[in-house]
Structures are given as structure tokens and as C-alpha cells.
Amino acid sequence: LEEQLAAANLVDIRRFRTKVFLRMKYATTDNFTERKLYNKAKCYLKKPVAQALVKAAKLAVEEEVPFWLCIYDCYRPTSVQKIMLKSVKEQGFLSKVSNHSRGMAVDVGPCNMQGEPLLTPNTFDTFSDASGAYYYGDEVPDIAIDNRTALQEVMKKAGFNTISNEWWHFDYKGAKNEEPLDIRF
């Protein structure tokens, strides 16, 4: 496994010794599929993406209102993406080929220094209008919008882009230039 990961330029975020909280949802049953899809709760990313995530983590704790990063998903094998596609009931939230499968995307949310999620428009993996990166419904408290906006700004400064239908999903620049991988862990 380690040789395959190294050949694909995938590194474990823990290698960088940055304070982030791994909440790898697909290594548990606490996700929309209600299945454990990974054997290990590891965050693998292409090396430049991991370095950018480290930069985002440092920027987050330097904010006027500091926060930490809770990481929900990183590299996702294409075979896992196929399982997810079969499990999702709401159309339009998952693509056939994900930038996660390229090691070029991360799902992340803001949390406090104990690793507890801060209020956001909805929770990770909840597929609804409130999942939108720019959703401003009347039911969403201002603090949830502020937390989401702070997260987006930090991630953008570190080289990531948002997608319209998931506030927690961030693609690294040049993601489409990488080939999807299927290294299971």
C-alpha cells in the first residue's frame, strides 16, 4: 500500500504535524451511506494539496476569530465513489468521477480547539439546499454563515476552490489535470 501511495504522490496529512482533527466519516458508519467504506481513518492527498491544507490550517488559527479544521474526507478510491453513487438518493450531489479520487479534493469544516464542529448551515453529508456554498436561507443563523464564509476564505487563500452544492467540499487548483486512482486502504 505504501509503495502505491508513494508512486501516486499521495501523502498522509499527519506527516506534516499540523493540528487538524481527522473525522474521516467514510471510515465509520456515520455517513450518508451508513456503511464503513474505508478500513483506515487516514487522510491521503497529493503532496501539493496536503501542503496547501497545512497552509489553510495555519491561516484558520490566525483568523480574528480563530478556528481549526475538521477533515471529513480526502483521497477517495474510484471504487468507493461508485458505491457512493449507488447510495445517494439526491441527484446532483455526486459526480461519476470525483476530484477526491484524484487526491485533489478535501471535505472540511470549521471546528473549535477541541475538535467539535462549529455551527454551519447544515452538517456534513446532508444533501439539501442548505448544503450550497452560497446558500443564505432565512432559517440559517448568521453565525453559521459567518463560520462557512471564514472557512471558504481561508481555503481560497490556500489555493482551493469551492463547488456550488457542498459548502464543505474544496478542490485544489489543477484537479482535472490528474488521473483518478483506485488505491484501496
Q: How many residues does the chain have?
A: 185
Q: CA-CA distance, 161 to 102, in Å (whole number)?
A: 15
R_g over Cα of the chain: 15
Nearest to 108 by CA among 149, 75, 74: 74
Nearest to 44 by CA among 96, 1, 94: 1
The yes-or-no answer on residue 166 being catalytic is yes
Determine how β-strand 68-73 pairs with β-strand 21-22.
Answer: parallel
What cell does 85 get?
Answer: 453513487
Catalytic residue among 2, 153, 166, 178: 166
Cell numbers given for 146: 459567518
Q: Quote the CA–CA distance of 91 and 89 in Å, as a whole number.
A: 6
Catalytic site residues? 166
